[in-house]
């Protein structure tokens, strides 16, 4: 199991002023913003390279990965984002996970940050969106209280290699979350639920 930030992380949170960025080019960045705020973390919307300065971590939201990638190119964010992900905690949800990957099995701008391959829209049209309760032992009370995972035209992580590790699978073994050091990829959208435990986990990761 990949290392969690541990309870020390949250304790440190109380003493330090943490700022987590949310890439705000396209997608559901405002939902991430509100959850971070509810956790007492200062969120900062990132639209330009200079917005990354001084951040403790970054979230790349769900949306449309091709659009996020094209806008990141247009705003000269690709190199700064790649550099940032080498030095800080970065979490991609759904489209954000695709954008973090090294391979999306088609040509589109990617950060090439995580040793994962993804298959976009892997659940097909019939099941555009659904919610599953996933046991997630690394979250607070995650064994007894499974996490409500919301999937919307979601990707599957088809392979995890190199330094990346599988974090969560569906009951049939398909991979829906991976971690590589302080990089995190989830196929689903914790920002669309009222359960803040995944955000807490990421904040702890960013402090570790
Ligand atoms: N299907 C989108 C993509 O391939 C991701 C959907 C989402 O973020 N909910 O980029």
Q: How many other CB atoms are there within 10 angstroms of residue 148's CB atom? A: 18
* Closest C-alpha to ligand 1, atom 4: 120
pLDDT digits (tens, 9 = 90+) for 56-92: 999 999 999 999 999 999 999 999 999 999 999 999 9
| C-alpha span between 94 and 185 (Å, rounded) | 8
The rounded mean pLDDT for the chain is 93
Known active-site residue 64: no
Active site residue 204: no
Q: What is the topology classification, in CATH, of domain 9-207?
A: Rossmann fold (3.40.50)
Q: 10 Å Cβ neighbour count for 123?
A: 18
120, 98 Cβ separation under 8 angstroms: yes
Over 70: is that where the pLDDT of 119 sits? Answer: yes
Q: pTM of the predicted model, to two decimals?
A: 0.92
Terminal CA-CA length for the chain: 16
Ligand 1 atom closest to the Cα of residue 151 is 9
Substitution candidate for ligand 1 out of 29, 65, 108 with most atoms within 8 A of CB: 65
What are the boundaries of each domain within the chain? 9-207
Contact 199, 182 (CB under 8 A): no
User: Is residue 70 packed enough to be buried (19+ CB in 10 Å), middle (13-18) or exposed (0-12)?
Assistant: middle
Give catalytic status of residue 189 as yes or no.
Answer: yes
Q: Is the predicted pLDDT of residue 5 greater than 80, yes or no?
A: no
b/e 87-114 (16+ beta carbons within 10 angstroms → b): ebbbbbbbbbbbbbbbbbeeeebbbebb
Q: State how far the Cα of 178 lies from the Cα of 161, in Å rounded to an integer.
A: 10
Residue 54, pLDDT above cutoff 90? yes
Structure tokens at 78: 């690709």
């Amino acid at each position: 199991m990949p290392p969690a930030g541990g309870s020390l992380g949250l304790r440190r949170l109380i003493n330090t002023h943490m700022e987590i960025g949310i890439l705000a080019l396209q997608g559901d960045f405002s939902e991430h913003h509100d959850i971070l705020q509810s956790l007492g973390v200062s969120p900062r919307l990132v639209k330009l390279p200079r917005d990354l300065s001084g951040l403790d971590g970054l979230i790349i939201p769900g949306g449309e990965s091709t659009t996020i990638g094209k806008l990141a190119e247009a705003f000269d964010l690709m190199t700064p984002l790649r550099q940032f992900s080498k030095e800080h905690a970065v979490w991609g949800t759904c489209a954000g996970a695709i954008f973090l990957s090294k391979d999306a099995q088609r040509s589109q701008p990617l950060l090439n940050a995580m040793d994962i391959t993804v298959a976009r829209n892997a659940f097909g049209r019939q099941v555009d969106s659904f919610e599953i309760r996933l046991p997630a032992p690394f979250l607070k009370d995650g064994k007894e209280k499974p996490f409500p995972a919301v999937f919307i035209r979601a990707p599957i992580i088809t392979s995890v290699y190199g330094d990346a590790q599988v974090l969560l699978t569906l009951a049939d073994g398909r991979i829906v979350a991976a971690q590589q050091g302080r990089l995190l990829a989830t196929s689903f959208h914790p920002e669309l639920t009222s359960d803040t435990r995944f955000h807490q986990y990421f904040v702890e990761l960013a402090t570790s």
